[in-house]
Amino acid sequence: MILLLAASFIWAFSFGLIKERLAGLDPTAVAVLRLAVSLAVFTPLFRPLRMGAAPVLRLALIGAVQFGATYVLYQRSYAHLHAYEIALFTITTPIFVALIDSAVERRWRRRYYAAAALSVAGAGVAVWRSVGDSGILGGFMLVQLSNLCFAGGQVAWRRERSRLPLELSDASVFALPFSGALALALSVSLFTTDWHSFAATRAQWATIAYLGAIASGAGFFLWNVGSTRVNAGTLAACNNAKIPLGIACALLVFGEKAYLARVLVGGALMALGVWIAGKRPAGEPRSRRRPGEASR
């Protein structure tokens, strides 16, 4: 779970950076560029030993959904919403994780739903602010579709990673998801982006480089590796850790104001959700699994 929290801490800075530093740039172009940087980070580590064509294709498709579609939708939502509204609307991701995982496995796990619900409640208490009715519906739908893609990719990665040979490290194959993500984002940009008029300042290029190498590259790597070491309920609950962390970053870095009482109460609810998700009910056998495979 430490890896998930580390990724959440990295992502907590992204909301303000994107809204403040990248305003005015084509959102799909930004998604393409940051994914290209992420791919460049992992390409030198690519060692696809003992992998057939089918796993390569599946990993690329997972990346196209989890990273590519997520970013194309997520980046575009900034044209309609404030950064704090986007942070708020991501609280539904744990519900999607729990629902997709249960649907795939065809099992009803009540504690996962309870953990996801507590996580959503905790994040909502921590970040809730009054929002106006004007202009947010489209942005809200973009964020929800982004949440759905991110959640589906997480579940698919956990299952696919457990099928790969043990000698393959996560870093040696992580270029494949980013390849699929970049291919999808670039394809969308051919219809939505005027590349000839794209002009970024030095500060914006630096922000894109940071987002690509650290927020996307390191962040997604830590998250996906961490996701294979916890059960689906804990993964669902941890999805919202970035929200209270984002509030802390807003207070300490961007000088924004927040209700500390809400942050504390929300954090307590989320911690309870993580505990419930990781608790093994009496009588449930401890699963035997090889290293790196998530319990199901």
Backbone φ and ψ of 146, nearest 5°: -65, -45
CA dihedral for 61, 65, 69, 71, sign (positive or negative): negative
pLDDT range class, residue 11, cuts 50, 70, 90? confident
Mean pLDDT of 243-259: 67
Closest CA to 154 of 47, 233, 55: 233
For residue 198, the Cα-to-chain-centroid distance in whole angstroms is 27
- Amino acid in the structure at residue 168: L
Is residue 289's pLDDT more than 50?
A: no
Q: Which of 63-67, 73-77, 225-229, 259-263 has the lowest mean pLDDT?
A: 259-263
- Higher-confidence residue: 261 or 36? 36
Is residue 167's pLDDT more than 90?
A: no
DSSP one-letter string for 51-108: --HHHHHHHHHHHIIIIIIHHHHHHHHTTTS-HHHHHHHGGGHHHHHHHHHHHHHT--
CB atoms near residue 191 (< 10 Å): 7
| Digit-coded pLDDT (tens) for 84-118 | 778 777 877 877 887 787 778 777 667 767 777 77
Mean predicted lDDT score pLDDT of the chain: 81
Is residue 199's pLDDT more than 70?
A: yes
